[in-house]
Structure 1
Amino acid sequence: MRDLATEFEAERGRLLAVAHRMLGSRAEAEDAVQETWLRCAAALADPSARAEIRELSAWLTTTCARICLDVLRSARVRREAYPGQWLPEPVVSPLGGGPSSDGYAPDPADRAVRTEQVGAALLVVLERLAPEQRVALVLHDVFAVPFARVAEVLGTTEVSARQLASRARRAVTAPDVPRHTAGLAEQRRVLQAFVVATESGELDQLLRVLAPDVVFVGDSGGHFPAARRPVLGADAVGRLTLGLFGRTGRYAQRVRSRPVLVDGVLGLQMETTHSDGRPIRLVTAFAVHEGRITAIYNQLNPEKLAALVPLGDDDTWPPRW
């Protein structure tokens, strides 16, 4: 059992990344990985049973994916009752790359080249998919799992697994889906321009940074005021942004911030105070395409941000790049 546990721990970071990509929730991902270990320990405790598994990594991935599929099927009911808009729980890590401090592996989404989506943009659009489509796309396009094994997870044929992934791929590249294709250098340039424009308080300057069809999504889980539907269009998103963080905005002069990686792409971690005195933590992720911001994802549900490392006194607004 000690050897089996050692082998499992070597795979834990990757399994967490797989589960989080499928479920969009840190807590649910950790539960899925723990359940994977329990099934592993029950099935492979006997050395002879372990000897029959030639690739433990593949066996664990299949088991974890099946658990995630069951969770996804039941989660749809819970998501329908969620107050307001739903965003995934962000995986926040410091700039500079490498594993994040919370035990997650480096974000694997940069390998999803066929979908041209990474970070929060990918997780949000995955919510459009049926559970089987989501599993097929994540396993094959993000983690390069062969379709034969994907079919095994889904309990279907390899041809059907390919069709599910193909339909999912079309959904996540649909014309109305915010595009994110920028590398970190371009993301930094665009976000710096976004902050400068927000600081200026000038709507025209901010509109030059926002794509015409930009979308703003805020998830407060019902804890704080937030739009119940996405805010669409550069003018509406620009006015909302200035109303929150501009010179005379709701949070003006009361914001601390730090540039971070949010699910592998550049974003901002912020802290401020609500008008009623309650502290607010925010993690804002961005999608950037062709030099403009195509989507802003503002996570301020405290239940999804409990694991954040608090900001320090040196973390000011505007952020220090």
Structure 2
Amino acid sequence: MYPDLPDLNQLPNELKQVAQRRKISNLLLNFLDFYISEEAFCELHKNDFEHCNLPETIQDLKFYGYEISMPESAAQYRSEVFPLLMDVHAKAGYYGVQVPAGGIAFDQEGELTEEAVALVKQQVKIIKNAGLAISTVGGSWDADWTQCIKPQAQAAKLMGSKFLYGPFSTPFLLFPENCYGEAAVKWLKQQHNNFHQTFKKEIGPYLKSLGVIMCEEPLQRFERMPAHLKECTELALREGMEQFSVMIDTCHEFADGAGPEAFRIYVKQLAVAGKLNGAHISALHRGKIYESWFNQQFFNEFFGPLFEQGFEGEIAIETFDATQPVVEVAKVNREKFKHPIGVLINQLHYACEMIKDL
């Protein structure tokens, strides 16, 4: 049903309409980062791009009739390859793309560099020219919010993204030593109390000045201390969190959630408060959604409550290819996708099939 390299125009118009109506975007994790430096590009080149899927991407583009060759620099990748990737997204039927902002350069004060601003504007122009909507995902964490949230929020504003998506309230990939069970619960409560105070005094006012809202993603425990939907909902509803909302991920709710009934309660609480502003579709094993066990019943139980509450936020398909640095961050233990462009087309096809009647 899902060939490795499907016909680029095979997605039925009905499903393309679903993608537009439900604002289905692709989170750009399965392609080379637009903001890669020339130095990092040269390192990949030295190893014949063993740790990224650029060769596979180029071959797929050739299969779909694009005249393209392997780029010799990061600048060439940005100017020649990336526009074709956006064209493929548009032809497949995507509403838009979510751009990771963790690789964007900034100075010691957390201000984007002039070069970074120029690159953001270049990327925005390319995406807009393809007719795609654009949103921003925070891609890194630092104990000092001015060294992660601040520059990423600037990127969101430059990209015209109302929301900065990502995990922020609990440090990504930080696991205090000997912190389990009740100790972990206590640690998380204190972490959220501290974050709440900093957000009220510093982060929230800064985001408001930019017109950007932070959209928190509850993650499962192998990626950070377990801040579930329950804890993130409680944080979002606290006083002084006007610029803070929540997004929900299929993978984390399936793997580490509290079940359908509790899920429904938290969704309603967030929706009533106007704080449910995004969703992710992500296979549990971080691979191809259409090869996972995310069946119709699961989609019904996940998206049913969201749509019943009038959810109109962006839905991003989160695809993890087995390339660095994603392999280490997401604990991916499989081969690279042989056809990354085929995957992005099939992901959209499957997701639209699952939610078209909801």
After TM superposition, the score normalised by the length of structure 1 is 0.29
Q: In terms of Rg, which structure is larger?
A: 1
Query: TM-score, with normalisation over the residues of structure 2?
Result: 0.27
Greater relative contact order (Cα < 8 A, sep 6+): 2
Structure having the higher strand fraction is 1
